[in-house]
Amino acid sequence: MANLLNHTFTTPYQTAPFSAIKNEDFLPAIKEEISKTKKEINSITENQEPPSFENTIEALEFSGAQLDRVTSIFFNLNSAETNDEIQKLAQEISPLLSEFGNDIRLNEALFKRVKTVWDKRESLSLNREQTMLLEKTYKSFSRNGANLPQDKKATLREIDKELSQLSLKFGENVLAETNAFEMHITNEADLKGLPESALEAAADEAKSRDKEGWVFTLNYPSYIPFMTYAENRDLRKKMSLAFGSKAFQGNQHDNRENVKQIVRLRQQRAELLGYQTHAHFILEERMAKTPEKVNTFLEELLEKAKPAAVREFQQLESFAKKEDNLEKLQKWDSAFYTEKLKQKLFNLDDEKLKPYFKLENVIDGVFTIAKRLYGLQFEETKEIDTYHKDVKTYKVLDEANELTAIFYADFHPRPGKRNGAWMTVYKPQYVKNSENSRPHISIVCNFTKPTASKPSLLTFNEVTTLFHEFGHALHGMLANTTYPSLSGTSVYWDFVELPSQVLENWCYEKEALELFAKHYETNEVIPMEYVEKIIESATFMEGMQTLRQLSFGMLDMSWHGVDPTYIEDVKAHEDEVFEATSLYPETPETCMSTAFSHIFQGGYSAGYYSYKWAEVLDADAFEFFKEQGIFSKEVATKFKDNILTQGGTENPMELYKRFRGKEPQPDALLRRAGLIEKK
């Protein structure tokens, strides 16, 4: 029987036919598509016509489209709905794809044609997008070994194959450790301080495991409330140490050797290609350009944030001493006393706010905001197939009722889903044969589940997470470029967080909150005093929060911005890096690096700084909105036309300046964070 993955899908809008796909379809389908794509590549290299932009660069850009679709479905499932079988397949499929990628990048005949076009680029009268595609294509060869001699090309292949397997293994270990831990509580006294919603969720979790009492896990919707509200300090410590020691326990899931191997191979790869370090290689294609610039950026922010962070820590410590006679604040006290102090100062806690943030209302709110800013309409539809019953699907229409995108939303945790939240693409946007093919975009989150008595009520942090991921989704949905590899979120990594982070600002605006923050039982709009307190508390402990983010960026650069081959002890190295930013006593049982999936499994290696970098952009951009009104059609249209639709078609700083009229200033971020005086 024909494998449906090897054909154009006959589903509505050519969406992925999830329920008809079997796990065993993936490997043969991917092998078949690799073979088809090789034939497409051969027809480019064997073309007797002289190399041109159209017959070489464009032809290469549109080759392997079905392979891209099948692999995106597979790897998205491996993140959102995995199982042992899919994980085993991933270990087979990843090296195949890595090998195939190298087959293309190290194909001398193909590179020769690309280089011919590159060398005569000045005489080709290409537009901006074509120029960017040519540059990106040429660099994808030169930065991946096309200019290397044969023996070094073979070494590069080996390194890439090994790296793809190691990062998969790293992620599997973190997931296995997350799933392996449970805290089973049968004594009700141990639950003191926990809100009813957390208790109900923990009771449901226990029931699903055929246990009496309550079960807490390391998944965020379970872990965060426990660390924030549980009065039992010993149990908070137990949870904290379990969370912090993921893949650092000397068992079969330990990631220490994987970390060392990944960073050494990345360094080796960079040197092979003529770069000083992995960070030098990565940052060449970022707004920041060099490790020196990143380190200076992080250090300057550290200098501004540290005095505030130290003051906040002392304030927290004296509060805990006064409150509970606590001599020494530990990491497992952080969320608990921060929340207590916040309640005392602002009389505001998540439990008070949650009734106003019913998931469905927040979704409607973010849709309404997208409509007011960008003219988008969202229609839920049941005709689109999904990979899990929890996934909702929407048709996204523009003001002329034309299809803009298909949108998938997957909100709740389950065992086959990795922690955290992310946006992803099942099909990119592009223009081919005069047809604008629209994208299929998805966001995946791990929000509090509905219980028997309550709908899904979000913490304020979850609300901002939803807005963040939806900001990425808008970047994908509004994409309007010719080439798929320059479309949507295919932009410099330190620019990609701008659309997501800028949208979070609407969560703090009265005018926006009134659209969706309504009590789930009474429909009463969130009281003004709560809104004021949300705004007031937005910069609460911002110094400590900034320090934490900077510490992650510095840890990332310490692994990738210097030669890491001398590092023998992962934990000792990490402790040394954290010295400049740590406020709490060190815990020998825990290690961040062994579960730092962003840099060892995701794409953030030498790029974690980009969250803070993009915050500078987003604070500066939002000041522009504030000046004109947060629903200003004029500013929204500028943002849409210069940022959201443009993808990676141009240098991001040029796009930003076209939107804003000037380069971004870090002062906007420091003002918003309360680290310098407001204007």
Express each pLDDT in 392-425 by its tens digit.
Answer: 999 999 999 999 999 999 999 998 998 889 999 9
User: CB of 70 within 8 A of CB of 31?
Assistant: no
For the residues 571-594, what does the mean pLDDT come to? 97
Q: Which two tokens stand for residue 185?
A: 């509580």
**What is the per-residue pLDDT for 674?**
81
Residue 635 has pLDDT above 90, yes or no: yes
For the residues 629-653, what does the mean pLDDT come to? 97
Residue 266 has pLDDT above 80, yes or no: yes
Pairing mode of beta strands 403-410, 422-427? unpaired
> Between residues 350 and 633, which one has the greater pLDDT?
633
Q: From CA 14, how far away is CA 579, in angstroms rounded?
A: 52
**What is the per-residue pLDDT for 349?**
81
Q: Which two tokens stand for residue 233?
A: 């300090």
| Domains within the chain, CATH numbers bracketed | 4-147 (1.20.1050.40), 181-244 (no CATH), 246-347+539-679 (1.10.1370.10), 355-538 (1.10.1370.40)
Residue 341 has pLDDT above 70, yes or no: yes
Residue 678 has pLDDT above 80, yes or no: no
Express each pLDDT in 305-324 by its tens digit.
Answer: 999 999 999 999 999 999 99
Mean pLDDT estimate for the chain: 95
**What is the per-residue pLDDT for 677?**
72
**What is the per-residue pLDDT for 348?**
83
Q: Give the three-class secondary structure for 414.
A: coil
Please provide the DSSP assignment of 112-167 as one string: HHHHHHHHTGGGS---HHHHHHHHHHHHHHHTTTTTS-HHHHHHHHHHHHHHHHHH
Q: From CA 583, how far away is CA 338, in angstroms rounded?
A: 14
Q: What percent of the chain has pLDDT over 90?
A: 90
| Locus of tokens 């979070």 | 504
Pairing mode of beta strands 430-432, 183-185? unpaired
**What is the per-residue pLDDT for 68?**
97
Residue 262 has pLDDT above 80, yes or no: yes
> Between residues 343 and 572, which one has the greater pLDDT?
572
469 part of the active site: yes
Q: From CA 55, how far away is CA 40, in angstroms rounded?
A: 11
Query: In which band, very low, low, confident or very high, does the pLDDT at 118 lie, cut at 50, 70 and 90?
Result: very high
Query: In which band, very low, low, confident or very high, does the pLDDT at 2 lie, cut at 50, 70 and 90?
Result: confident
The b/e string for 264-290 (b: 16+ C-beta within 10 A; e otherwise) is bbbbbbbbbbebebbbbbbbeebbbee
Residue 123 has pLDDT above 90, yes or no: yes
Express each pLDDT in 42-54 by its tens digit.
Answer: 999 999 999 999 9
Express each pLDDT in 618-629 by its tens digit.
Answer: 999 999 999 999
Q: Which two tokens stand for residue 110?
A: 């193909």
Its pTM stands at: 0.85
Express each pLDDT in 463-518 by its tens digit.
Answer: 999 999 999 999 999 999 999 999 999 999 889 999 999 999 999 999 999 999 99
Query: In which band, very low, low, confident or very high, does the pLDDT at 1 lie, cut at 50, 70 and 90?
Result: low
The catalytic residue among 205, 339, 469, 542 is: 469
Question: What's at 665, amino acid-wise?
Answer: Q
For the residues 576-587, what does the mean pLDDT come to? 96
Express each pLDDT in 355-370 by its tens digit.
Answer: 999 999 999 999 999 9
For the residues 219-234, what does the mean pLDDT come to? 96
Least confident of 111-115, 122-126, 302-306: 302-306
For the residues 266-275, what does the mean pLDDT come to? 97
Express each pLDDT in 275-306 by its tens digit.
Answer: 999 999 999 999 999 999 999 999 999 998 99
Express each pLDDT in 20-67 by its tens digit.
Answer: 999 999 999 999 999 999 999 999 999 999 999 999 999 999 999 999
Please provide the DSSP assignment of 283-342 as one string: HTTSSS-SHHHHHHHHHHHHHHHHHHHHHHHHHHHHHHHHHH--SS--GGGHHHHHHHHH
**What is the per-residue pLDDT for 556?**
98
